Amino acid sequence: MLELQVINRDTFSRYAGLSLPRHVAYPMPTWWHEVDAEASSKLRALSTCAPALRDLSLYLHLPFCEKMCRFCACNRTIVRKDSQSGAQRVSQYLDVLIKELELRAEDIGKINSERRIVRQIHWGGGTPTYLSCEQIQQLHGATTALFDISPDAEISIEVDPRVTTAEQLCVLRKCGFNRISLGVQDFDKKVQEHIGRIQPFEMVKQTVADARQAGFTSINFDLIYGLPLQTIQSVKSMIEKAIELEPDRIAFYHYAQIPDRIANQRGLDHTALPDSDSKLTMMLEATARFGNAGYVYVGLDHFAKPDEMLVQAMHNGQINRSFQGMTTGAELDLFGFGCSAISILPRSMYLQNEHDISAYTEKVLLGIDPAVRGKALTKDDGVRQAALMQLYCLAEIDPARLQREVGVDFASYFAQESSQIDRLVADDLVERTELGGIRLTQPLGRVLMRNVAAVFDGYLDEDAPWTGMKQTFSASA
């Protein structure tokens, strides 16, 4: 358990608050390039060049929500459920999404007549439970008809307790979904009112009970700290309430505040944000309290019960950090479907679909690849991606593992970064290991993980191709 007093708050305040990436990808999307159909088909073909056939993970993006939450940084679109035009938009989007699955299933599902097995499916959003029970069955039915899905596949969905019914949860279980992730954010009434998301504790409790009743054995809570009006006391209470409901996993996200890019965040009172020092205490409280309640600290901001797949994946090297947070399945090729969905071939490429629903729809209906930007990774990108993945997922860089994964010697490859690493050691963010690698210290290095990671990011000094400017990110801690 962490001792709150052991942290050096002077050192912390020198590092906290810098605008740095969260590395849900490396290189971050800011440094990807525009692609046309020919370029995207070359990128997709990299999947067939892997030395061994890799199994599959599928991501389906469902962008609809009934009401805007003011803090939200996701790609979502607000559609009134009771409007006829809204219902038509949703049903057309589903048809297009299924068409995209059909267009691509043949290429992805088989390489040289060998079938690739789907080990993981995730529906993200927006709010996937915006869909009716019939629509859920329609979309999942189309997926199962097109791909070979492993009987023990991990099939998960993001669920907003305000719009999710017991009936939907039963239908999801019948379809084979086995993991749900609840957007909880905070239990405090004042904070909820301010962020435009009223969701009483009893409502979350009921959704958890319904999910357990339906047979879900893995339930995740998304919580956010650093929101306007939150105090150390209110966050402590949020943590206690979360523990009371016994989720299997918890994502304890730092509020990503980028009002320049996200218009809806401009409605929040940013003078009421907790300062860096308070946020540090909130994170340390979470680590201590979740730890005391038996949760294992995973990656930058996740906690999970010891018997959860996520913890097992951490032990067997299959843990992954991506746009979906910390996940299992590092050994899989991920293909994204739907507007803004991202495909990831580890060490090889990223590819993202059109963000805008109309542009995405138009392309798919014409049979054109809806990918709009992406990146083929260089050898150096692959090395840095592997190093960063270790840092975020395992809190260390192990030279033997790096050698195995990407064939480089840590000390010589990162010789140029050596003086920066020395500074991190002097400031007690990292320690050098006996095996010649580095490990994040507890607690300072872990809470400033993004600052350590920045040392291994080869792009931070470069201008972004999209804007021609230095990119801004949310505050590091």
Ligand X SMILES: C[S@@+](CC[C@H](N)C(=O)[O-])C[C@H]1O[C@@H](n2cnc3c(N)ncnc32)[C@H](O)[C@@H]1O
Residue nearest to ligand X (CB): 183
According to the binding rule CB under 6 A, does residue 413 interact with ligand X?
no
Q: Which partner in ligand SF4, ligand X, none is near 392 (CB below 5 to 8 A by kind)?
A: none
> Pick from 100, 154, 186, 222: which binds ligand X (CB under 6 A)?
222
Q: Please say which residue, 61 or 179, places its beta carbon nearer to ligand SF4.
A: 61
Element at 400 (helix H, strand E): helix 399-406
- Tell me how crowded residue 222 is: count the other CB atoms within 10 A of its CB: 18
| 170-186 CB burial, b ≥16 within 10 A, e <16 | bbbbebebbbbbbbbbb
Largest CA distance in the chain: 65
Q: Please say which residue, 216 or 255, places its beta carbon nearer to ligand X.
A: 255
Cα separation, 162 vs 461, whole angstroms: 43
Q: Are 219 and 247 in contact (CB under 8 A)?
A: yes
Q: Which partner in ligand SF4, ligand X, none is near 222 (CB below 5 to 8 A by kind)?
A: ligand X
Cis preceding-peptide flag for 126 (omega within 30 of 0): yes
Closest listed residue to residue 346, CA positions, set 21, 51, 30: 51
Q: Please say which residue, 39 or 256, places its beta carbon nearer to ligand X.
A: 256
Q: How far is CA 334 from CA 87, 121, 194, 397, in A?
A: 30, 9, 36, 24
> Pick from 16, 224, 250, 377: which binds ligand X (CB under 6 A)?
224
Cα separation, 395 vs 391, whole angstroms: 5
**Of the ranges 34-42, 137-145, 202-210, 252-260, which one interacts with ligand X (CB under 6 A)?**
252-260
According to the binding rule CB under 6 A, does residue 111 interact with ligand X?
no
According to the binding rule CB under 6 A, does residue 210 interact with ligand X?
no
> Pick from 30, 47, 127, 218: which binds ligand X (CB under 6 A)?
127
Shortest distance in whole angstroms from residue 313 CB to ligand X:
20
Q: List residues bridging with 85 in a β-sheet.
A: none
> Pick from 103, 245, 256, 293: which binds ligand X (CB under 6 A)?
256
Cα separation, 9 vs 279, whole angstroms: 12
Cα separation, 301 vs 321, whole angstroms: 11
What pairing do the DSSP bridges indicate for beta strands 179-185 and 148-159? parallel
Element at 54 (helix H, strand E): none
Q: Please say which residue, 104 or 194, places its beta carbon nearer to ligand X.
A: 194
According to the binding rule CB under 6 A, does residue 255 interact with ligand X?
yes
Q: Which partner in ligand SF4, ligand X, none is near 35 (CB below 5 to 8 A by kind)?
A: none
Q: Which partner in ligand SF4, ligand X, none is near 253 (CB below 5 to 8 A by kind)?
A: ligand X
Q: Which partner in ligand X, ligand SF4, none is near 68 (CB below 5 to 8 A by kind)?
A: ligand SF4
Cα separation, 217 vs 228, whole angstroms: 33
Shortest distance in whole angstroms from residue 268 CB to ligand SF4:
13
Q: Please say which residue, 47 or 164, places its beta carbon nearer to ligand SF4.
A: 164
According to the binding rule CB under 6 A, does residue 40 interact with ligand X?
no
Instruction: Output the DSSP codes for 52-81.
Output: S---EEEEEEE-EESS--TT--S--EE--T
Separation of CA 5 from chain center: 31
Q: Please say which residue, 127 or 441, places its beta carbon nearer to ligand X.
A: 127
Q: Return residues touching ligand SF4 (CB under 6 A).
A: 65, 68-69, 72, 74, 76, 125-127, 160, 183
Q: Please say which residue, 41 or 132, places its beta carbon nearer to ligand X.
A: 132
What pairing do the DSSP bridges indicate for beta strands 371-376 and 430-432? unpaired
- Cα 22–23–24 angle (5° rounding)? 100
Residues touching ligand X, count (CB under 6 A): 18
Shortest distance in whole angstroms from residue 238 CB to ligand X:
12
Q: Which partner in ligand SF4, ligand X, none is near 93 (CB below 5 to 8 A by kind)?
A: none
Q: Please say which residue, 224 or 330, places its beta carbon nearer to ligand X.
A: 224
Nearest-10 crossing angle of helices 84-109, 133-146: 20
**Residue 141: which residues within 8 A CB-CB, separation 6 or more?**
175
> Pick from 18, 24, 50, 73: which binds ligand X (CB under 6 A)?
73
**Of the ranges 86-94, 118-126, 391-399, 416-424, which one interacts with ligand X (CB under 6 A)?**
118-126
According to the binding rule CB under 6 A, does residue 160 interact with ligand X?
yes
Shortest distance in whole angstroms from residue 354 CB to ligand SF4:
19
Cα Rg of the chain (Å, integer): 22
Q: List residues bridging with 254 in a β-sheet.
A: 225
Q: Please say which residue, 124 or 443, places its beta carbon nearer to ligand X.
A: 124
Contacting residues toward ligand X, per CB under 6 A: 65, 71-74, 124-127, 158, 160, 183, 185, 222, 224, 253, 255-256
